[in-house]
Structure 1
Amino acid sequence: MNDTVKVVLSGRMLVALLMGFSSGLPLLLTGSVLQAWMTDEGVDLGTIGLFALVGLPYTLKFLWAPVVDRYALPLLGRRRGWLLLTQLCLMLAIAALGWTHPAQHVLPVALAALLVTFFSASQDIVIDAYRREALADRELGLGASLYVNGYRIGMLLASGGGLILADFIPFPQVYQLMAIVMLIGIGTTLFAPEPVAAQGLPASLGEAVIHPFVDFFKHQHAWLILLFILLFKVGDIMASNMTIPFYLDIGFSKSEIGAVVKLFGFWATLAGGLLGGIVMLRAGIYRSLWGFGILQAVSTAGFALLALTGYSLPMLAAVIAFENLSGGMGTAAFVAFMASLTNRRFTATQYALLTSLMGIPRVIVAAPTGYMAEGLGWVGFFVFCTLIAIPGLLLLTRFRGWLGEAGRAD
């Protein structure tokens, strides 16, 4: 137990938390905060909707990840050099976005927002690689949970804090303040230790592009792993996509949803991520994926129970607490699982590919959920979301031989 406490309180975990914060901060500055600003400025809804396209770098980041694996900058080392450069550029891009004028010229707004997402996605590439290389295998779960919690805190500060601030100061000043907050990430980069580089790093850009794919598909279960990544959280994603219409439909007010689902649920998710990371230190990734995956499925069934119960604030609070707690634990295990798959020679490229793949269900399977809820009814829909988690869990049985003992503390 003393070893567990030492790991939890180590500088490595503080770095994971602060780097997560730095990753999460920029995300909604080109999403909900920018949408609110453009709405205030009278920009039409069609144009605001098109701004979703500036998020493409988050999906396509694997295209330039090999550059990060192949080349090292002259200062601070292979990982921290790139991290400092992307964070400085990101800070300037956020400030530049605040200097634009949405009501007068939309194109400069789009270009500045695209620069923010590009440098934000680039920062994510390097941070993911840094975390994989700086942590021991058994620490990946806790490191992932603290990173994810830091990410969520950064998102909350940018979106919730940014929108609250915008009631008191102009949006351009909000963006300047958020640019200054990026100094937390820059300071973390300057003081964090550089991970030890793996042997046999790519000798050319071509090798950095091709070898990560070749290396990954040498794995006996490569295709099953990719299928598992697509399936593990699919039920959770489908259910989450319809929860707001569901809450409104059974009689909860917007204020009740905001207080219970968003604020109370946020802290439950943070607690789940931290608890999941600590459990993984003792149980390892394989057993944690099983346990947390089952809890995720059961928590989805809680929505079906809420649909049968109808309007009840205590029931809503119980369902949200359980769902967000188990969801936070499941996400921590899932992120740690993907990190454990990467070869330290190609960490940036392989992890960028896996996280891009992870985002596919969020777009594809979420699209028809409205029609499914209409056809099946709320109870039937959430029961279906619960059952569809089973194939992903069954795939885990194929991984027991090589994943079962990985990262487990004796």
Structure 2
Amino acid sequence: MKHAMATGAQSHPTTFTALSEHRTARLAAIIVLYFLQDVPLGLLLIALPAWLAEAGATPVEVGAFAGVALLPWSAKLFNGLVMDRYAYKPMGRRRGWILLSQSLMVAVLIAMVIVAPGVSDIALLSGLCFALNLCATFSDVAVDGVAVDIVPESERTAINSVMFASQAVGIAACSFVAGQLLASSCITRTAVIMAVLVACASLFVSIFRERPGERLLPWSLGEASRECEDRQQTAWWPLLAGIVRSVLAPRTLLFLLAAACAGTYLAFSDAVNPTLAVQRLGWSSDRYSNFGATVNLAAAGCGLFIPVLGERFFGLRRSIFGQLVLLIVLSLAAGLSFATWQGDTAFIVFSVALYILSMTTTISAIVWAMRICNPAIAASQFALFMAVPNLSRSFMTGNSGWLVEGEGYGATYLAVAGVLAVGLVLAWLARVGDDSQLPGTAQ
């Protein structure tokens, strides 16, 4: 009976593509998922902070909003543990989680339409964005798990570049559209459009299987693949033991701390740039949203090529360290020259350069993180590698407003340089990018 069911499952889905077997399908699915699952980030990191800043919110209030809303991205280890332990295996290890989480994102956006918070409802807005990001993190972890599970080693640098490029384009598109709509105080229309985009992504993903013979939907024909059965954990202890061993490895711990420091400028851009541009430089909220969209598009283009070319010509290790050094130099230059800035030219130049470098450094670091993941606990282990930098980013975002109000914007740039320098030292001690030391699993 089971064999007959498998045969029947194979006979029906020939018009639908299995991601494990088709490079183009993998690429298309990951592009769409990363583009649309980052709808919350376009709202949270660019459009809404600028909207709040234009309404008179202080740097502390904007930072607190962004910090709270970003918190779910710090809990990705929990998401990964749940996914590695539980899955609806007839639909693959991750695909059911992707469809469920994106459906919940749509539900939260509909709730935002119904509640319609205004600029004075910062606490309510923070709660809704927290819930939206919580759903998005499940989708994000599931997509990362799919990438670790089915993307061949030879494709990983390219696929990571594509993942982050599509993420940047998604943030850009979302922030541009949301910025225009929020300029007329129309948060409900913004939420409706974002809900439609996420729903479209779910429909697109529903036409692909992870592996041949699996179900498209819970009521379709199909069965779990052998890879899914072999890799899916059936008890908590192997998962937890594997994660503990990974964390306790000294060089892995140093890598996590280095990654936490490497994203410092991203935290700065989350909380500080909106008030710097809107309240000090006199920009409107929609101008800042348009600027953020443009920067993300530039980062998307650079993210497609810089990590790939950097690894090809210099090696992953030299590429990562070179980008970190450039980030430190530019942050120092911005901090030391801030008092002499005239107009907004320097702000634009430093913001574009620092953001692009931060994104390309992140892509290169994630290539390394993928290489040291154990496929059996890939979602949990990779989620840990992502959760620690996200926790650091959330903490620094939430507290950067105090530094700005106490010491000024110039000192904040210098603080970014200092934290990045610590990250550089930690990455060197961890021998990040040295393939001869970590051939394929975390040691």
* 2:28 maps to amino acid: L
* 1:227 maps to amino acid: L
Structure of higher RCO (CA pairs closer than 8 Å, 6+ residues apart): 2
Whether contact under 8 Å (1:54, 1:110) holds in the other structure is yes
* Residue from 372, 375, 390 that aligns with 1:341: 372
Q: What is the aligned length?
A: 393
1:253 corresponds to: 282
Task: Provide closer, same or farther for how the CA distance between residues 140 and 308 of structure 1 changes in structure 2, counting only shifts above 3 A.
Answer: farther
* 1:391 maps to amino acid: V
Question: TM-score, normalization: structure 1?
Answer: 0.76
1:92 corresponds to: 107
2:333 corresponds to: 302
TM-superposed deviation, 1:120: 1.7
Task: Provide closer, same or farther for how the CA distance between residues 260 and 24 of structure 1 changes in structure 2, counting only shifts above 3 A.
Answer: closer
Q: Aligned pair 1:213/2:243, yes or no? A: yes
Post-superposition CA distance 1:358-385 (Å, at most 9, x none)? 123324445267547855882x654453
TM-superposed deviation, 1:284: 4.3
Task: Provide closer, same or farther for how the CA distance between residues 102 and 259 of structure 1 changes in structure 2, counting only shifts above 3 A.
Answer: closer
2:136 corresponds to: 120
Task: Provide closer, same or farther for how the CA distance between residues 236 and 305 of structure 1 changes in structure 2, counting only shifts above 3 A.
Answer: farther
Post-superposition CA distance 1:19-69 (Å, at most 9, x none)? 211220134557876789999xxxxx99xx779746543333422432211
1:232 corresponds to: 262
* Residue from 34, 58, 81 that aligns with 2:96: 81
1:69 corresponds to: 84
2:4 corresponds to: none
* Residue from 233, 238, 241 that aligns with 1:202: 233
Deviates more, 1:50-59 or 1:112-121: 50-59
* 1:234 maps to amino acid: T
Task: Provide closer, same or farther for how the CA distance between residues 87 and 290 of structure 1 changes in structure 2, counting only shifts above 3 A.
Answer: same
Flag structure 2 segments of 5+ consecutive residues without an equivalent: 1-22, 54-59, 212-226
TM-superposed deviation, 1:244: 5.3
Whether contact under 8 Å (1:306, 1:315) holds in the other structure is no
Post-superposition CA distance 1:185-216 (Å, at most 9, x none)? 224423445165495542213433x1332341
TM-superposed deviation, 1:108: 9.6
1:144 corresponds to: 160
Q: What is the percent sequence identity of the aligned residues?
A: 17
Give runs of aligned pairs for residues 305-324 of structure 1, distance below 5 A.
306-307=337-338, 309-311=340-342, 314-324=345-355
Give runs of aligned pairs for residues 347-386 of structure 1, distance below 5 A.
347-365=378-396, 367=399, 370-371=402-403, 375=407, 378=410, 382-383=413-414, 385-386=416-417
Whether contact under 8 Å (2:181, 2:190) holds in the other structure is yes
Q: Secondary structure at the match of 1:26?
A: helix
Whether contact under 8 Å (1:287, 1:404) holds in the other structure is no
Question: TM-score, normalization: structure 2?
Answer: 0.71
* Residue from 151, 159, 163 that aligns with 1:135: 151
- Distance in 1, Cα, partners of 2:229 & 2:389: 26
Cα RMSD of the aligned pairs, angstroms, is 4.4
* Residue from 6, 12, 22 that aligns with 2:26: 12
Task: Provide closer, same or farther for how the CA distance between residues 154 and 213 of structure 1 changes in structure 2, counting only shifts above 3 A.
Answer: same
- Distance in 2, Cα, partners of 1:244 & 1:93: 25
* 1:152 maps to amino acid: A
Whether contact under 8 Å (2:263, 2:393) holds in the other structure is no
- Distance in 1, Cα, partners of 2:136 & 2:236: 22
- Distance in 2, Cα, partners of 1:241 & 1:30: 10
